A = this chain, B = another copy of it.
Amino acid sequence: MNPIAQLDPVQLRKKRRTNSTSALKQVVIAGGTHGNERNGVYLAKYFMKNPKLVQRPSFKTVTLLTNPYAAKANTRYVEEDINRCFYLKDLVQPAKSNLERERAHALDKELGPKASMMPKSDFIFDLHNTTAATGVCLMLPPDDKFALEVGAYLADLDPSVRIVLWSNVPDWPMFASMGRSGMTFEVGPASWGCIAPAEFIQSKQLILSGLDYIEAHNQRITQLKRSPSSGQATTYKKIKVFQNMHYVKYPRDDDGELIGMIHPKLQWQDWKELKNGQPLFAMFDGSADRLFDSSKYESGAVYPFFINEAAYYEKDIAFMLARKVSVDVKIPISKSKI
């Protein structure tokens, strides 16, 4: 077995994260990780047909469909959600025999591997959509300082952009966790199978700006190597981000069937603080609404998101809950230089 695979995933990441002092050689733009999330599918296809748009002088950009079988069938997945196939522990085992596991292993070999000190891909933009009214939210690992830099730059350009930190766990199964650094570029609301047009235009611009940031980062590294005194001082800024914490289940009967739904007053209210006593679920039979009981959680404001995400019915997640936290983000490049 690859000795690296025996490393604790947290330790492995610490050693290999893309950071402020390393240049990026390869960036991945992936659509169709979920085949029915069509903004991502069509944006990736558009970049594949127009590769000059995503080329930058100092690094290679690879654009691909993560799950081409699901994209063709216009379904989330064919046999298994590929965005749950990228745990380190699974990638170091032979692939289970299904389309998505095999594709995940092939991608890991081609663009990773995750079980390495230096995967080939320095950054992954993984394009997703949700049926929830999240707007653009950049979901990234809480320990990924470089992804946070990119995210903070994009949120500075477009103040509607939100940054969300993935759950604080040792490893994640998402495709964007395979490289040295990366993010799930989540956009909603967009129905399965549809292009949400305003969001498509916004996403295209943000991805191109993200590539520009990485190019400026690489130029800065080159400049510093030539002339170590040439760099401007790195500054820090405190920004507010959301930290994913909990999820809330649907009301169901003893057979496991839904007996209620997201309350009409909660629908589309992603990122708006949830107050004690606020209705969460309306019941099919018109009986009393189920209300939010804040005493079940640690004190402090909580913010719902992924409210009524279609793919989460089967995972029994009605919505997720986040807290707002302050994080320090490096600002090594002034916006005027990008």
Q: A residues bordering B, Cβ < 8 Å? A: 36, 38, 42, 45-46, 49-50, 74-75, 131, 189, 191-198, 200-201, 204, 257-258, 261-264, 267, 282, 284-286, 308-311, 313-314
Chain B nearest CB from A307 CB (Å) reads 10
A198: contacting residue among B50, B264, B285, CB under 8 A: B264
Given contacts A192-B193, A192-B310, A310-B191, contact A50 B131 (CB under 8 A): no
B193–A263 CB distance below 8 A: no
> Shortest 3 CB-CB distances between A and B: which pairs?
A193-B310, A191-B191, A192-B192
Q: In the bound complex, how far is the Cα of B105 from the Cα of A184, in angstroms?
A: 46
**Cβ-defined contact, B285 with A50, below 8 A:** yes
Which chain B residue lies CB-closest to A198?
Answer: B264
Please pick, from B38, B50, B74, B197, the residue contacting A282 in the complex, using a CB distance under 8 A.
Answer: B197
Cβ of A131: which chain B residues have Cβ within 8 Å of it?
191, 193-194
CB distance from A90 to the nearest CB of B (A): 25
Closest to A192 in B: B192
B195 touches A192 (CB 8 A): no
Task: State whether B308 touches A194 (Cβ < 8 A).
Answer: yes
Return chain B residues, CB-CB under 8 Å to A308. 194-195, 197
A sample of 21 cross-chain residue pairs with beta-carbon separation below 8 angstroms, ordered by A number, consists of A42-B261, A45-B257, A46-B284, A49-B257, A75-B75, A191-B191, A192-B193, A193-B311, A193-B313, A194-B310, A195-B258, A195-B261, A197-B261, A197-B262, A197-B264, A197-B308, A198-B264, A200-B261, A200-B284, A201-B264, A201-B286
- Are B192 and A36 closer than 8 Å at their CB atoms? yes
**Copy count, this protein chain:** 2
Q: Known pairs A195-B258, A204-B284. 17 more at Cβ < 8 A?
A: A36-B192, A38-B313, A45-B257, A74-B313, A75-B75, A131-B193, A189-B191, A191-B191, A192-B310, A194-B309, A194-B313, A196-B267, A197-B261, A197-B263, A197-B264, A197-B308, A200-B261
Name the distance in Å between A50's Cβ and chain B's nearest Cβ: 7
A191 proximity list for chain B (CB < 8 A):
131, 189, 191-192, 310
Residues of B within 8 A of A201 (CB): 264, 282, 286
A77, chain B: closest CB distance, angstroms = 12
Q: In the complex, which residues of chain B have a beta carbon less than 8 angstroms from the beta carbon of A264?
A: 197-198, 201
A45 to chain B, nearest CB (A): 7
How distant is the Cα of A75 from the Cα of B192 in the complex, in angstroms?
11
Across the interface, which residues of B come within 8 angstroms of A204, CB to CB? 284
Residues of B within 8 A of A189 (CB): 191
* Minimal beta-carbon separation of A136 from chain B (angstroms): 15
B195 touches A262 (CB 8 A): yes
Determine the chain B residues whose CB is within 8 A of the CB of A197 once the complex forms.
Answer: 261-264, 267, 282, 308
CB distance from A261 to the nearest CB of B (A): 4
Instruction: Please give the distance in Å from A5's CB to the nearest CB on chain B.
Output: 36
